[in-house]
Amino acid sequence: MKPSSAGSTPESPHPRPPSAGEHRAGADFPADSDFPSDNEVRDTPAEVDAAFRAQRGVALAYFVVFLVLVAAFPVLTMTLQWWTQARVFGDLSPGFVAAAGGLYLVFAIIGIAAARLSASVESRMLGGQHGLDDDSAAGEELK
Amino acid sequence: MTSTAVVTLAAVLIIVLGVSFISRPRGPSTVDFYLAGQRVGVMTNSWAICGDYLSAASFLGVAAAVYVSGLDGAWYAVGFAAGFVPVLLLIAAPLRRFGEFSLADFLGRRMDSDPVRLASVGVVQLVILCYLVPQSVGGGITWELLVGQGLLGLSPYATGVLLSTAVVAVVVAFGGMRGTTWNQAVQFLLLFAALVWLAVVVTADGFRYGEAVQSLSEAPLANPTLGGADGQEWTLTEETNHMHPGEPALFGEPGARYGPLGQVALVVTLGLGTAGLPHVMNRYFTSPTGKAARTTTVWVLVLIGAFYAMAIMLGAAARDIIPDAVAGRPWLQELTVDGVLHTPEHALPVLGRIYGEQTGLGLIAAAALIAAMSTVAGLLLASAATWGHDVYERHINPRATQRQAVWAGRITTLLGAALAAGLAIALRPEAFAPAMPSLVATMVTWAFAVAGSALTPVLVLAIWWHRTTAAGSLAGLLTGATLSVSMFMTAGLIEADWLRELLAAPTLVVAPITVAVVVLVSLRTRAPDGVQAHWVRMHGTAADRRAERMARLTRGGVDAR
């Protein structure tokens, strides 16, 4: 990435419209190439590819769980009388409990679990922090 | 105009203008104007995304849908909330790490293609228009209910549309993303507080959720319809059971509104549509890192889950409480037939007035107005980013200075607002009045359908499949947009059955077709150069680590002073 806008003033024209990352060269966070690489661990394409494949597995696995949960509702309604007739929580049926609150709780749990796992994968596979404790890394993610 | 209306409007104006003034941009920078300097923290951004996402349709509409359809009304809420799961799993972190100004900018740079950028601008503007017009309509309806008077010879509705849109347009044009972010965050907290207040007072008054649903499900579900000899007499009509034809539809059981296919089609359309909503996804570019964008989405899932769970409960509470509250309240008798509201969108304002008199009504009306305004702000800013950055800076004046680029964004914001207000007024002749709530809901669903059918599949493939090409993306965008528009326009012309349910929420069918088109065309064309560099930028974490280290150093510097 070429920091074409580095040092530009509000009045100076750009040779081409810069990306947001390039703009940041003039902001508080510098663009990628503005820093010396002496004390930095850069991601190699091979490392990123391996991390990408692991992240893709995590995303697909959780997405399948999500799809099964959402698709299960009409299937249960059609096939299981208990789903709409039983009373399980304050006189509410299991189907009503799911649509009125349970599914949102499940969505949040899926989100938290996926975010922790993704953070753990990234901290293990990228940036040379292989010794970092998984739990502490995941905990830091959700702070 | 009552004193309640005056106080409510004054409070809304003070909050909106005060927050905008305090958080105004510090200089003519496009990163500051469109992206708030990319320094919006996790909690602030999650509140702002909620404020952006939770429109008047969510605040009044979900409770109204449950009020009128029982359990089936909850499917709107499930779809709206479900949308952030794919965002978290597939989009938030990589999109932010790639780090552009808008969805169109992301797709244009990822594919290294101006045609893809321009096609994305077209689809994004279609989504924004479908979403913006109903929000302006919501502002007009709220003014009509709250104030009931027009200014300068205009009708109350037109006055509401023009004033609410104008205030937001000015705030966005001069506050940019920084002012809009803080406004949306504060507005979400007020919206949430209004729902919590209502839930607390209703529960304290003896409302029991389970018992109420049980009691409401003992008789067939019936709602007011206009009938009689002159077509002006309100009568209660039993709802059809779409899940088990022949049986009565009940409040606590599925079937009052959708069959099994309709349920899934609606949830998929709303769920996938969220990931393609430009005003919501642009907010992710304001996060400092990809990691922060992901964590922000987790908080959004938690907050909107709580919001929708309360909205559903209050829809059931309104259905249970209002029939007994009619006696002794002449104003409520005018709004109901046999204890059921003519207009379900009045459910929350009526509950507010029952429990808080004029003050309660004012609070709920203010929250509704705020919900519409915060979403309009996000939509105008997303529109400004695509016109100002993707069209003006890229194609009209590539050598624009920062100041010119920011002014282009401001001017396009004002033009977009004028267009939306004009359309909102044109779409509201008095003859439309009884159908207006459904028009609002229908147009919002169109926005989700176009976003979920055209933008989301292309976005996901651009992030996760390195073979995606410019030609494939272009074909996918055009196919998804054309098919989804054709299908939901056709839905209005056919009889109500399973096919109409599918056509009205077309993403379930169109999204797989779009994916197939992108894959087939991409496999037959050459992938753009530099995919590896894009992959390192999008899926690597070097920029995140650098930003985190800089943030620590900055904090350390401040602490050391």
Structural contact between residues B273 and B449, judged by C-beta atoms closer than 8 angstroms: yes
Q: Is B238 helix (H, G, I), strand (E, B) or coil?
A: strand
B541 inside domain:
no
Q: Which of A92, A110, A117, A143 to mutate to test the interface with B (most CBs of B within 10 A)?
A: A92
Choose among A15, A21, A48: nearest Cβ to B536. A48
ipTM of the complex: 0.87
CA distance A135 to chain B (A): 16
B511, β-bridge pairs: none
Q: Which of B49, B108, B130 is nearest to B440 (CA)?
A: B130
pLDDT in tens, A87-115: 887 788 898 999 989 999 999 999 999 99
What does the alpha-carbon distance between residue B443 and residue B55 come to, in Å, rounded to a whole number?
A: 13
Question: What value does the mean pLDDT take over residues B532-550?
Answer: 86
Q: Does B291 touch chain A (CB under 8 A)?
A: yes
From chain B, the residues in CB contact with A105 under 8 A are 305
Contact check, Cβ <8 Å, B71/A95: yes
Q: Does B88 touch chain A (CB under 8 A)?
A: yes
Please tell me the predicted confidence (pLDDT) of residue B293.
Answer: 92
For residue B427, pLDDT over 60 is answered with yes
**Backbone CA torsion sign across B536, B542, B548, B554:** negative
Please tell me the predicted confidence (pLDDT) of residue A28.
Answer: 38
Both A30 and A84 in a single domain?
no
Both A51 and A99 in a single domain?
yes
Both A24 and A94 in a single domain?
no
Both A116 and A79 in a single domain?
yes
Give the CATH number for residue B481.
1.20.1730.10
From chain B, the residues in CB contact with A69 under 8 A are none
For residue B463, pLDDT over 90 is answered with yes
Dig out the tokens for B331 from the structure.
Answer: 């104003």
- Restricting to A residues 69-108, those with a Cβ less than 8 Å away from any Cβ of B are 70-71, 73-75, 77-78, 84, 87, 89-93, 95-96, 99-101, 103-105, 107-108
B450 inside domain:
yes
Pick from B281-290, B522-531, B544-553: least confident = B544-553
Pick from B9-13, B224-228, B292-296: least confident = B9-13
Choose among B86, B243, B271: nearest Cβ to A77. B243
Which span out of A25-29, A128-132, B329-333, B399-403 was modeled with the highest average pLDDT? Answer: B329-333
Q: Which of B452, B438, B439 is nearest to B483 (CA)?
A: B452
Tell me the pLDDT band of B460, cut-offs 50, 70 and 90: very high
pLDDT in tens, B164-212: 888 888 877 777 777 778 888 888 898 899 999 999 999 999 999 989 9
Which span out of A2-6, B420-424, B456-460 was modeled with the highest average pLDDT? Answer: B456-460
If one counts every other C-beta atom within 10 angstroms of the C-beta of residue B414, the result is 16
Both A29 and A64 in a single domain?
no
Domain region containing B289: 3-528
Q: Does A52 touch chain B (CB under 8 A)?
A: yes
- Restricting to B residues 202-231, those with a Cβ less than 8 Å away from any Cβ of A are 208-211, 213-214
CA distance B531 to chain A (A): 11
Q: Does A140 touch chain B (CB under 8 A)?
A: no
Please tell me the predicted confidence (pLDDT) of residue B477.
Answer: 96
Both A25 and A56 in a single domain?
no
Contact check, Cβ <8 Å, B542/A127: yes
For residue A31, pLDDT over 70 is answered with no
**How many separate domains does chain B show?**
1
Please tell me the predicted confidence (pLDDT) of residue B37.
Answer: 65
Both A29 and A54 in a single domain?
no
Both A49 and A106 in a single domain?
yes
Residue type, B436: M
What phi, psi does B493 have (nearest 5°)?
-105, -5
pLDDT in tens, B15-60: 777 777 776 666 656 666 666 666 778 888 899 999 888 887 788 8
B369 inside domain:
yes
Nearest chain A residue to B32 by CA distance is: A27
| H/E stretch holding A51 | helix A45-79
From chain B, the residues in CB contact with A121 under 8 A are none
Domain region containing A108: 45-141
Structural contact between residues B101 and B385, judged by C-beta atoms closer than 8 angstroms: yes
Which span out of B90-104, B130-144, B369-383, B460-474 was modeled with the highest average pLDDT? Answer: B460-474
Tell me the pLDDT band of B314, cut-offs 50, 70 and 90: very high
What does the alpha-carbon distance between residue B194 and residue B363 come to, in Å, rounded to a whole number?
A: 7
B128 inside domain:
yes
Both A133 and A104 in a single domain?
yes
Question: What value does the mean pLDDT take over residues B64-92?
Answer: 90
Please tell me the predicted confidence (pLDDT) of residue B107.
Answer: 93
pLDDT in tens, B481-501: 999 999 988 877 777 677 887
B536 inside domain:
no
| H/E stretch holding B375 | helix B347-384
Please tell me the predicted confidence (pLDDT) of residue A26.
Answer: 38
Higher-pLDDT residue of B440 and B342 is B342
CA distance B58 to chain A (A): 15
| H/E stretch holding B516 | helix B507-523
- Restricting to B residues 334-353, those with a Cβ less than 8 Å away from any Cβ of A are none
Which span out of A46-60, B248-262, B371-385, B387-401 was modeled with the highest average pLDDT? Answer: A46-60
Tell me the pLDDT band of B407, cut-offs 50, 70 and 90: confident
B557 inside domain:
no
Contact check, Cβ <8 Å, A74/B550: no
Nearest chain A residue to B314 by CA distance is: A100
Please tell me the predicted confidence (pLDDT) of residue B464.
Answer: 94
For residue B13, pLDDT over 90 is answered with no
Structural contact between residues B376 and B87, judged by C-beta atoms closer than 8 angstroms: no
For residue B229, pLDDT over 60 is answered with yes
B262 inside domain:
yes
Please tell me the predicted confidence (pLDDT) of residue B262.
Answer: 82
Q: Which of B85, B102, B208, B303 to mutate to test the interface with A (most CBs of A within 10 A)?
A: B85
Both A101 and A134 in a single domain?
yes
What does the alpha-carbon distance between residue B368 and residue B315 come to, in Å, rounded to a whole number?
A: 15
Nearest chain A residue to B396 by CA distance is: A17
Tell me the pLDDT band of B451, cut-offs 50, 70 and 90: very high
What does the alpha-carbon distance between residue B78 and residue B151 come to, in Å, rounded to a whole number?
A: 40
Nearest chain A residue to B316 by CA distance is: A100
Tell me the pLDDT band of A39, cut-offs 50, 70 and 90: low
Choose among B210, B211, B400: nearest Cβ to A13. B400
Question: What value does the mean pLDDT take over residues B105-121?
Answer: 91
Q: Which of B29, B30, B31 to mutate to test the interface with A (most CBs of A within 10 A)?
A: B31
Structural contact between residues B34 and B177, judged by C-beta atoms closer than 8 angstroms: yes
**How many separate domains does chain A show?**
2
Both A18 and A35 in a single domain?
yes
From chain A, the residues in CB contact with B213 under 8 A are 91-92, 96
Contact check, Cβ <8 Å, B394/A91: no
Q: Share the mean pLDDT of chain B.
A: 84
Pick from A132-136, B315-319, B341-345, B548-552: least confident = A132-136
Please tell me the predicted confidence (pLDDT) of residue B301.
Answer: 95
What phi, psi does B66 have (nearest 5°)?
-70, -40
Q: Which of B368, B447, B378 is nearest to B48 (CA)?
A: B378
Q: Does B27 touch chain A (CB under 8 A)?
A: yes
Please tell me the predicted confidence (pLDDT) of residue B315.
Answer: 94
In Å, how far from its chain's centre is CA B478? Answer: 23
Both A122 and A53 in a single domain?
yes
What does the alpha-carbon distance between residue B322 and residue B271 come to, in Å, rounded to a whole number?
A: 32
CA distance B363 to chain A (A): 24
CA distance A17 to chain B (A): 6
Higher-pLDDT residue of B14 and B125 is B125
Q: What is the DSSP letter of B37?
A: G
Please tell me the predicted confidence (pLDDT) of residue B380.
Answer: 86
B316 inside domain:
yes
Please tell me the predicted confidence (pLDDT) of residue A140.
Answer: 43
Please tell me the predicted confidence (pLDDT) of residue A87.
Answer: 83
Q: Does A62 touch chain B (CB under 8 A)?
A: yes
What does the alpha-carbon distance between residue B522 and residue B215 come to, in Å, rounded to a whole number?
A: 56
Structural contact between residues B242 and B478, judged by C-beta atoms closer than 8 angstroms: no
Please tell me the predicted confidence (pLDDT) of residue B482.
Answer: 95
Question: What value does the mean pLDDT take over residues B273-286?
Answer: 90
What does the alpha-carbon distance between residue B421 and residue B136 come to, in Å, rounded to a whole number?
A: 6
**Using CB atoms within 10 A of its CB, is residue B245 exposed (0-12), middle (13-18) or buried (19+)?**
exposed
Question: What are the CB-based long-range contacts (under 8 Å, 24+) for B331-337?
Answer: B336/B224, B337/B224, B337/B234, B337/B235, B337/B236
Q: Which of B460, B477, B464, B551 is nearest to B521 (CA)?
A: B477
